[in-house]
Each structure stands twice: as C-alpha cells, then as structure tokens.
Amino acid sequence: MMLKKIFSLLTALFLVFPSLLLAQPAILRNPLAFNNITDLLIAILNVVLIVAMPIIVLYLIYAGFLYVTAQGKPEKIQEATRALLYGVIGGVVIVGAFAILAIVRNLVAEF
C-alpha cells in the first residue's frame, strides 16, 4: 500500500515536472564582466580614482585658501598645514593603491 502511494506520487511529480526526468547538468555563467580578480580590482580602483582625485584636488585648494586667509595667525596656519598634509596623504594613498595593484598583478602573472 505504501509502495503504491510512493509510486503514484513519483509518477505525478514526473508528469508535472518533466524536466526532472531529463536532468541535465546546470551551466553556471559568470554574471560579472570580469574573468579574473585583477580585472575586478582594476575596475574598482578606477572608480575610486575617479571619485577620490577631484575630492583631493578640492581639498588641496581648500588648504591653499586657508593659507591665504590665515593672515599670519599661528593656529590658522597650523590648520592649513594640517589640511595640506591630509590632502597629500590622501593622494599618496590613492597612488599607493595603484602601485600595490601593479605589484600583485605582476606576481600573479608569474604563476
């Protein structure tokens, strides 16, 4: 009795879902436009560069504005110097990221 119920359930299941009878291996497709991790990192860093460089340039212009408006006051000059230092450090970090990416790409290409 139980075997008959299982058989009828499987028959109904295969009639409703005929693709289960013709089980074929699933083909997984890459949803990204990148074939390897270095191409993905390059794309991410390019976006970061496009966003960060104008911000850094504006920050350096702001630091110059602070220097001009300091009028010899030591605390204002210190604030302008700090703003200039932070802008330069930001630029170095961005350029350093591209340098690290180039090093990693060359190391991975050797293997």
**Which DSSP state fits 28?**
P
**pLDDT(21) > 60:** no
pLDDT range class, residue 19, cuts 50, 70, 90: low
- Residue 84 · residue 60 · CB < 8 Å: yes
**Which DSSP state fits 1?**
-
**Which DSSP state fits 31?**
-
Give the up-direction half-sphere exposure of residue 31: CA atoms within 13 A in the CB hemisphere: 0
Residue range 24-67, pLDDT digits in tens: 666 777 777 888 877 887 888 889 888 999 999 999 999 999 99
Residue 29, exposed/middle/buried by CB under 10 A (0-12, 13-18, 19+)?
Answer: exposed
Reduce the DSSP state of residue 3 to 3 states and report it.
helix
pTM of the model: 0.61
Residue range 79-111, pLDDT digits in tens: 999 999 999 999 999 889 888 888 887 887 776
